């Protein structure tokens, strides 16, 4: 397990049973290639998905007592999807530790969203079996939610720019303005950073692969800042403090 010491450090969890982590990293392609019965991470993925759903459902249920089933379900779906899980797996460096077949390796399996998302859920399942529910819960709240920031407002906005404009119209007819303040990365993989301003004040910043995405992230960050943490009530009074950039 020396090869997995770095991964366990990044995960913030040390396994009592190292074989569970190895199993969580074993892609189904290994069994398909060898043509013999080999345990892979599919069963752990099934378990991890259930644990993740339960932990996030409880978190949303407790933080938003005034919201019904519909908004809470949408919020959970926004937090738990293949793209978001794969992104978090990449941040943890899971891909380089995957145990793949030669064919899957040759076809870019280490960077495939489906493989990364499934493995992330399998790791959650392994943590649950190894350390119990509370260990899995702490892992999720510490290592999963930090990718999205604290869950302080329901993340169900399809149009954060429109929502922000509507919120600000309660105090001023002036529309929010967006500015591109930075562009980084190579031409084929640019990252834009935008700020959103209202009445001469910077409300928030956001980052994205396009100007539109960066503006949406800035609007969402501003909404999180301006809204009360619970109850769904708003306080449309712009602040001058800039929150951390969203990715």
Last residue of a domain, one of 147, 173, 207: 147
Instruction: Based on the fold, state whether residues 82 and 13 are members of the same structural domain.
Output: yes
- What does each of the 247 residues of the chain score in pLDDT, given as a tens digit? 447 888 999 999 999 999 999 999 999 988 877 666 789 999 999 999 999 999 988 988 887 776 667 667 777 877 788 888 898 899 889 999 999 888 888 888 888 899 999 999 999 999 999 999 999 999 998 866 654 445 555 554 567 888 788 888 878 889 999 999 999 988 888 899 999 999 999 999 988 888 988 898 898 888 877 764 433 443 333 333 333 333 3
Instruction: Based on the fold, state whether residues 124 and 58 are members of the same structural domain.
Output: yes
Q: Which one of 49, 130, 143, 215 is the catalytic residue?
A: 49
Q: How many domains does the structure of the chain reveal?
A: 2
Q: Is residue 165 a contact partner of residue 84, using CB atoms and an 8 Å limit?
A: no
Instruction: Based on the fold, state whether residues 30 and 7 are members of the same structural domain.
Output: yes
pLDDT at 197: 96
d(CA 71, CA 184): 36
CATH of the domain at 67: 1.10.1520.10
Instruction: Based on the fold, state whether residues 129 and 201 are members of the same structural domain.
Output: no
Q: Which domain holds residue 9?
A: 2-147
Whether 55 maps to a domain, the answer reads: yes
Residue 129 sits at φ, ψ, to 5 deg, of -70, -35
Instruction: Based on the fold, state whether residues 77 and 188 are members of the same structural domain.
Output: no
- pTM over 0.85? The answer is no
For the stretch 208-229, pLDDT in tens is 888 988 898 898 888 877 764 4
Tell me whether residue 104 is one of the annotated catalytic residues.
Answer: no
Instruction: Based on the fold, state whether residues 79 and 109 are members of the same structural domain.
Output: yes
Instruction: Based on the fold, state whether residues 56 and 113 are members of the same structural domain.
Output: yes
Whether 31 maps to a domain, the answer reads: yes
pLDDT at 171: 83
Q: Which one of 45, 104, 121, 202 is the catalytic residue?
A: 121
Whether 245 maps to a domain, the answer reads: no
d(CA 205, CA 101): 42
Residue 243 sits at φ, ψ, to 5 deg, of -75, 170
Angle between helices 113-131 and 82-91 (to 10 degrees): 70
Full strand arrangement of the beta sheet holding 177-184: 177-184, 191-198, 201-208
Tell me whether residue 49 is one of the annotated catalytic residues.
Answer: yes
Instruction: Based on the fold, state whether residues 123 and 26 are members of the same structural domain.
Output: yes
Whether 153 maps to a domain, the answer reads: no
In angstroms, the first-to-last Cα distance of the chain is 32
Long-range contacts of 185-193 (CB under 8 A, 24+ apart): 193/245
């Amino acid at each position: 397990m020396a090869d997995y010491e770095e991964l366990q450090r990044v995960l913030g969890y040390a396994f009592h049973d190292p074989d569970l982590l190895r199993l969580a990293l074993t892609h189904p392609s290994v069994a398909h290639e060898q043509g013999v019965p080999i345990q892979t991470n599919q069963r752990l993925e099934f378990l991890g998905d259930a644990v993740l759903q339960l932990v996030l459902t409880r978190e949303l249920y407790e933080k938003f007592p005034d919201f019904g089933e519909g908004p809470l379900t949408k919020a959970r779906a926004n937090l738990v999807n293949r793209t978001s899980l794969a992104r978090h797996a990449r941040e943890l460096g899971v891909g380089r530790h995957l145990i793949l077949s030669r064919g899957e390796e040759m076809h870019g399996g280490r960077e495939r969203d489906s493989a990364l998302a499934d493995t992330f859920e399998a790791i959650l399942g392994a943590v649950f079996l190894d350390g119990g529910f509370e260990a899995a819960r702490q892992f999720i709240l510490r290592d999963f939610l930090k990718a999205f920031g604290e869950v302080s407002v329901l993340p169900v906005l399809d149009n954060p720019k429109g929502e922000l404009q509507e919120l600000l119209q309660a105090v001023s007819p002036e529309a929010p303005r967006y500015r591109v303040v930075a562009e980084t990365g190579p031409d084929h993989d640019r990252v834009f950073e935008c700020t959103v301003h209202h009445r001469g004040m910077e409300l928030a910043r956001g980052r994205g692969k396009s100007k539109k995405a960066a503006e949406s992230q800035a609007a969402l960050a501003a909404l999180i800042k301006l809204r009360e943490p619970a109850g769904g009530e708003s306080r449309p009074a712009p602040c001058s403090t800039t929150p951390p950039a969203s990715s």
